[in-house]
Amino acid sequence: MPQPVDPRVLGATVAGGAVGVLARALILQPVGDPSAVAWVTFGINVAGSLLLGVVVGWLDDRRPLLRAALGTGALGGFTTYSAFAVATALWISTPWLAAGLAAASVIAGVGGAIVGLFLGRRISDRPGRVELPEDAE
CB 78 within 8 A of CB 48: yes
pLDDT in tens, 69-99: 999 999 999 998 888 888 888 888 888 988 9
pLDDT in tens, 19-68: 999 999 999 999 988 778 888 999 999 999 999 999 999 988 888 899 99
Q: How confident is the model at residue 130 (pLDDT cuts 50, 70, 90)?
A: low
48 is in an annotated binding site: no
pTM: 0.82
Residues 27-38 as b/e (b if ≥16 CB within 10 A, e otherwise) read: eeeeeeeeeebb
94 is in an annotated binding site: no
Q: How confident is the model at residue 118 (pLDDT cuts 50, 70, 90)?
A: very high
Residue 92's pLDDT is what? 83
